[in-house]
Structure 1
């Protein structure tokens, strides 16, 4: 299995961050039909048709996608971990463009497990891949990036709280499929038979995306990244999964907020998850507090809201008896 050896200093200095490039690569996989988009709206037929036209216009890129872009492995140069200086998508994409062709082709050979198709051995392959990535960004990510970024930032706040409550073992073990904390500074990142890697003196990043499974990336020996699925946040902004009966009882906004508070969340997280404004969320949280359906507590600079036992019971009973939830009571 693939194991990263992570010292206490590396783990203490690791950080969560948002990457527009990583989200764009996740959308490339979805557009190409190599990954599902669970729980959220799939790309429109027009987007998929435009994507196929874009591939048809560049046979080299089409061959690259058909042979190299895989859900389980990709060349390292396609998705490098963001550097501290990167602020925008184009900052991140610059690293892809600047990859020497010989390096890119060597990574393609590794991804394919053998030789590179002769048609891919072109001197401008990194530029062509970067152009396709920029197209995916412009057509499928950039229009929704502000709201999606807020959702990712909310997930980061939630993960950080997990660490403060349960430690790194809890936060890392549930982050992505096949990954778990083994103890003694060992992080299993996948189940492949790869030699262990020592991340001493390296920067370790954790990046949420809408990818179904996620992946790992590195710019050796400086930066390593774990790209993970943004847990439970695939619903479109403004929608809630609250039972209809609960919405009728409390009102749709309060029902949605109460439903989200199965784990402690800040006002900022609730704004991102619900799609409602800060004032609206704050006003309805006060009503839920006054009704003793939620509590609040301070954690560092954040104020976290969470359901009381009464709130838990209310949501549970309504979920078990609501036909729209697809569940029924076993009593």
Structure 2
């Protein structure tokens, strides 16, 4: 599975998508095994409730070590989104349609060892659905509007790259093991597997997520996709702008420009700078007029990010 052979028409139809289920699986993995500072800080807010839930659900406790290993996630957690704008209930319904035996077969691939006794009883699929619903309801859904804004901001930036550098430019910065090899070959990881032809595929999607590393999503043979870490998820609200830049263009303006390596909306900039809406808007207008930032509408939000000039100012600050 290290290389996908992608027909040109499939690549032309490929798209970006935001998936509530993908972010829920990323959250589940972070609760089970955190890796980044952002995830650790987020995890601290939810870990006690998560542990209490697991203490009452022995099947869920047994599912976690069987579902994740360092190089693979069980396939029932990696179903590709079926629509451009999936909802969590619709994606959860795709999992609910799986049988207990299908889930056990996926677990045996992920962890080729005898399954725990708790995973052999009837009702395993129901337990998976309940676990995912709990993670969504208690940890992801309350902050979904902000999560979705960050994910859509990433897509706006990737789309801008696509218009200037093509898919090869997008893939170069999507995931550390992912690259376009030419001749229709897309390397998705470094696994030593024979190339996989996507001739029968009807859908190829790329899904940003709040995660440290990406993973494959698929529903063989028709739907394939790649999850990748969204940019801008580690924004530090206390990070100062360079002193030299602040002296050149003013502290508040420098503070805004320093944070726009990934696209942010005015409301996000208000949150990370502590400035009022009017102040943020005024400074953005000046930065736009100077050619230091660009903007693009995404849904109800207008997103801003640094131009090459803005990046040079920050780098030289």
Please tell me the TM-score bracket, short chain as reference.
Answer: 0.7 to 0.9
The answer to whether the 8 A contact 2:266-2:303 is kept is no
Going from structure 1 to structure 2, the CA distance change for 1:74 and 1:13 (only over 3 Å counts) comes to: same
Please, what TM-score do these two structures have when normalized by structure 1?
A: 0.82
Name the CA distance, whole Å, in 1 between partners of 2:304 and 2:62.
49
1:274 paired residue number: 269
1:127 paired residue number: 126
2:139 paired residue number: 140
2:7 paired residue number: 7
The answer to whether the 8 A contact 2:26-2:209 is kept is yes
2:158 paired residue number: 159
SS in structure 1 at match of 2:26: helix
Cα deviation for residue 194 of structure 1 reads: 2.2
1:226 paired residue number: 226
| Cα RMSD, aligned residues only | 3.0
Counterparts in 2 of 1:149-228, with a 5 A limit?
Answer: 149-200=148-199, 201-228=201-228
1:294 paired residue number: 292
Cα deviation for residue 168 of structure 1 reads: 0.7
Name the CA distance, whole Å, in 1 between partners of 2:197 and 2:308.
44
Going from structure 1 to structure 2, the CA distance change for 1:14 and 1:249 (only over 3 Å counts) comes to: same
Name the CA distance, whole Å, in 2 between partners of 1:61 and 1:109.
16
SS in structure 1 at match of 2:151: helix
- Structure 2: tracts of 5 or more residues without a match: none
1:49 aligns with 2:48: yes
The answer to whether the 8 A contact 1:47-1:140 is kept is yes
The answer to whether the 8 A contact 2:78-2:216 is kept is no
The answer to whether the 8 A contact 1:40-1:235 is kept is no
Going from structure 1 to structure 2, the CA distance change for 1:71 and 1:147 (only over 3 Å counts) comes to: farther
SS in structure 2 at match of 1:155: helix
| 1:11-60 deviation per Cα after TM superposition (whole angstroms, max 9, x unaligned) | 11011010111111111111112x31344662354521111111111111
Going from structure 1 to structure 2, the CA distance change for 1:70 and 1:295 (only over 3 Å counts) comes to: closer
| 1:133-159 deviation per Cα after TM superposition (whole angstroms, max 9, x unaligned) | 111112211111101101100100101
The answer to whether the 8 A contact 2:30-2:43 is kept is no
Counterparts in 2 of 1:233-248, with a 5 A limit?
Answer: 233-235=233-235, 242-243=241-242, 246-247=245-246
Cα deviation for residue 283 of structure 1 reads: 2.6
Name the CA distance, whole Å, in 2 between partners of 1:153 and 1:297.
13
1:90 paired residue number: 89
Cα deviation for residue 180 of structure 1 reads: 1.1
1:26 aligns with 2:26: yes
Going from structure 1 to structure 2, the CA distance change for 1:253 and 1:98 (only over 3 Å counts) comes to: farther
The answer to whether the 8 A contact 1:178-1:191 is kept is yes
The answer to whether the 8 A contact 2:17-2:85 is kept is no
Going from structure 1 to structure 2, the CA distance change for 1:312 and 1:159 (only over 3 Å counts) comes to: closer
Name the CA distance, whole Å, in 2 between partners of 1:169 and 1:85.
22
Going from structure 1 to structure 2, the CA distance change for 1:293 and 1:185 (only over 3 Å counts) comes to: closer
